[in-house]
Amino acid sequence: MRPKRRDTAPLDLPRGAVHIAVMSKTALITGASRGLGAALAEALAPTHHIIAVGRTTGALEELDDRIQAKGGSATLAPMDTTNADAMAVLCRGIHDRWGGLDLWLHCAVHAAPLTPTDHIDTKDMEKSIAGNITATARLITFVSPLLGADGTAIFFDDPRAGTKFFGSYGATKAAQIALATSWQAETAQIGPRVHIFTPEPMPTATRARFFPGEDRAALSDTATQAAAVLAQLSENSAS
């Protein structure tokens, strides 16, 4: 049995090229393998060609299958957002293939283990800085020209700064949102539009690392939160 052909950025034309002809809009989702990123990819698939970035190839392929089942198309980019060269190649590929982006949703995050602040492991802190701060700043630089004046960028807050045992995650996530907030203020009049949303708690792998014994049934599912994010985005765009 012949395996399915997967479109992997930035090479070849997408196997969903027919859909791209109809779907003129493009959405880049960093951190699309699972969780909210994957749910957003599925929610946007009927109207956007999805460029899905994530480190887990198998999870991206499963996402691609779900998008195909809905009649959508995706380009898979199994890449690490902390790899500067990979992100440069990806963004150049987006420019060469589509000329730009309509939407960027940044869902990628590094969740370091919880620990007392005076026990934070140096390598965990370095990974948190690289994933949550440095990679975000670099991506803003790379993606901003692709969005232009009319595109939209979305970031997701998870306010943990100052919470006990969340030292490395809380500090670097707060710094990530500070970057987004500065960019938002700077582009308010000239674009691109920058939005920062705070979804309700969801049963994601990241949250499970922080709250392993939690009753997950009480949490909001990722599809519901993805729909809420897009509804809020629509309301903000209309205002």
Name the residue type at position 198: T
Alpha helices in the chain (DSSP H): 17-22, 35-44, 57-69, 84-98, 122-128, 135-147, 167-186, 205-210, 222-238
Q: How far apart are CA 133 and CA 24, in angstroms?
A: 31
Superfamily of domain 17-238: NAD(P)-binding Rossmann-like Domain (3.40.50.720)
Q: Return the pLDDT at 30.
A: 98
Q: How far apart are CA 33 and CA 54, in angstroms?
A: 5
Q: Return the pLDDT at 60.
A: 97
Q: How far apart are CA 121 and CA 27, in angstroms?
A: 36
Q: Return the pLDDT at 235.
A: 85
Q: Are 136 and 176 in contact (CB under 8 A)?
A: yes
Domain regions of the chain by residue span:
17-238
User: For the whole model, what pTM was predicted?
Assistant: 0.90
Q: Return the pLDDT at 16.
A: 38
Q: Return the pLDDT at 24.
A: 76
Q: Return the pLDDT at 7.
A: 66
Q: Are 200 and 177 in contact (CB under 8 A)?
A: no
What does each of the 239 residues of the chain score in pLDDT, given as a tens digit? 334 556 665 444 333 333 343 457 999 999 999 999 999 999 999 999 999 999 999 999 999 999 999 899 999 999 999 999 999 999 999 999 999 999 999 999 999 999 999 999 999 999 999 999 999 999 999 999 999 999 999 999 999 999 999 999 999 999 999 999 999 999 999 999 999 999 999 999 899 999 998 999 999 999 999 999 999 998 887 66
Q: Return the pLDDT at 193.
A: 98
